[in-house]
């Protein structure tokens, strides 16, 4: 994935076609410290800290849709290694005083964007910054829309191609090796603390060629598992003792994330036992409903209804897509409007959980690939009774 490839060129081609349909001459994508965007990596292979400008060339009477792209990278050395090759030109962010406004102005000139054209900037552009763009690019029509270029790429990314599925399968198989070792080492007492568990995952993932973990491992022993996301993410506190311990982690392999949660249960009291049984029941219910063509909202609504019967409420969604990010489309949730339908090539988590401020929390989470014939469970985490 790190060199400019046919896959990346094909993705860029889709963007040019979309731009032609929308009548847009130039789009800007931004990946900076406060506004991260993996879409640049998806289109160029460059990992982080860059702007990407894509312009459309279309001659009258010419059916071929194509264009140009320039990656303005904070670290030009890194860009030369990761994003080299046509049709993406490279430039250094320092040449523009590291200001997006300077860069976009230079690009409109370099690519001869005709006055009056539509230029789209990222939908996360803050309102005051949007005003700066409008003030500077007075000869253009500046678009900043939730349903624009970013939404289009995110939608494309929700359905993985064969290359992506192969990488995520490999990431899942590494995750599963680590899941097995975690179970073994908690049972044997080699892993006794949250730190033991978190560091074990760091080491074992890198040993197997991963970029690292896909997010900071959340290791919460019985004293801290009441929180959805323990804070700090892990400490030197005991892990795996009496009660419920949650271990939420993922690996990043070839830029792609997994995301799983194991719960370790030991000597449960009746309330903890009830929590665990309910979460297991919810997990099985969700899997039994996750078919090709099913609305994602229906699956999540069924789990919410199951919990509601026991007067419980899950304080988070049932699941989410995974890929270059640990959270991406499709949404697998009941809350609000959710128009996603499960379709082949989607890879997402199913992760029912319940949390009690006194008795602790329980969550089970695996990664699911939707295929023509149904859900394939890629990962093997479970509730482990010690």
- Interface with a copy of itself by CB under 8 A: which residues? 33-34, 36, 47-49, 74-78, 80, 82, 92, 94, 97-99, 123-128, 130, 144-146, 195, 198-199, 202-203, 206-207, 211-212, 216, 226-229, 231-236, 252, 313, 315, 327, 335-336, 355, 357
Instruction: List C-alpha distances in Å: 191 to 194, 287, 351.
Output: 8, 30, 24
Question: Which of 33, 17, 35, 12 is closest to 130 using CA atoms?
Answer: 35
Q: How far apart are CA 300 and CA 284, in angstroms?
A: 12
Q: How far is the CB of 372 from a copy of itself (least distance, A)?
A: 33
Question: Which of 42, 48, 56, 34 is closest to 129 using CA atoms?
Answer: 34
Question: Closer CB to a copy of itself, residue 146 or residue 162?
Answer: 146
Q: How far is the CB of 197 from a copy of itself (least distance, A)?
A: 12
Question: Closer CB to a copy of itself, residue 20 or residue 106?
Answer: 106
DSSP 8-state secondary structure symbol assigned to residue 147: T
Q: How far is the CB of 34 from a copy of itself (least distance, A)?
A: 7
Question: Closer CB to a copy of itself, residue 14 or residue 208?
Answer: 208
Residue 336 Ramachandran class (φ > 0 left, ψ -120 to 50 alpha, else beta): left
Question: Closer CB to a copy of itself, residue 9 or residue 134?
Answer: 134
Q: How far apart are CA 98 and CA 42, in angstroms?
A: 22
Question: Which of 195, 181, 129, 149 is closest to 11 using CA atoms?
Answer: 149
Within 10 A of 321 (CB to CB), how many other CB atoms are there?
Answer: 25
Q: How far is the CB of 262 from a copy of itself (least distance, A)?
A: 20
Question: Closer CB to a copy of itself, residue 83 or residue 370?
Answer: 83
Question: Closer CB to a copy of itself, residue 156 or residue 199?
Answer: 199
Q: How far is the CB of 138 from a copy of itself (least distance, A)?
A: 17
Q: How far is the CB of 129 from a copy of itself (least distance, A)?
A: 8
């Amino acid at each position: 994935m790190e060199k400019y490839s046919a896959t990346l060129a094909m993705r860029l081609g889709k963007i040019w076609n979309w731009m032609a349909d929308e009548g847009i001459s130039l789009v800007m994508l931004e990946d900076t410290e406060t506004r991260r965007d993996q879409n640049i990596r998806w289109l160029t292979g460059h990992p982080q800290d860059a702007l990407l400008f894509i312009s459309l060339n279309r001659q009258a009477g010419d059916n071929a849709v194509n264009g140009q792209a320039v990656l303005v990278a904070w670290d030009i050395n890194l860009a030369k290694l990761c994003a080299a090759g046509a049709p993406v030109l490279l430039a250094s962010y320092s040449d523009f005083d590291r200001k997006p406004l300077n860069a976009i102005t230079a690009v409109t000139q370099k690519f001869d964007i005709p006055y009056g054209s539509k230029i789209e900037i990222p939908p996360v552009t803050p309102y005051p910054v949007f005003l700066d763009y409008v003030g500077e690019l007075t000869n253009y029509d500046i678009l900043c829309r939730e349903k624009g270029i970013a939404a289009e790429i995110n939608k494309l990314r929700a359905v993985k191609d064969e290359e992506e599925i192969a990488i995520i399968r490999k990431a899942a198989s590494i995750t599963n090796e680590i899941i097995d070792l975690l179970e073994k080492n908690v049972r044997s007492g080699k892993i006794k603390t949250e730190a033991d568990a978190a560091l074990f995952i760091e080491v074992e993932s890198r040993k197997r060629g991963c970029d690292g973990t896909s997010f900071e491992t959340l290791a919460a022993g019985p004293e801290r598992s009441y929180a959805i996301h323990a804070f700090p993410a892990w400490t030197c506190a005991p892990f795996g003792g009496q009660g419920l311990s949650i271990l939420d982690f993922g690996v990043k392999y070839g830029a792609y994330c997994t995301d799983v949660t194991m719960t370790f249960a030991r000597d449960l009291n009746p309330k903890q036992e009830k929590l665990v049984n309910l979460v297991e029941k919810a997990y099985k219910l969700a899997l039994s409903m996750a078919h090709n063509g099913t609305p994602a909202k229906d699956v999540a609504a069924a789990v919410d209804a199951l919990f509601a019967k026991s007067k419980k409420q899950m304080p988070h969604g049932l699941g989410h897509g995974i890929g270059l990010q640990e959270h991406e489309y499709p949404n697998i949730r009941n809350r609000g409007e959710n128009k996603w339908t499960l379709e082949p090539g989607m890879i997402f988590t199913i992760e029912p959980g319940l949390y009690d401020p006194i008795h602790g929390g329980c969550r089970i989470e695996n990664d699911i690939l939707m295929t023509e014939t149904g859900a394939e469970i890629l990962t093997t985490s479970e509730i482990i009774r010690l």
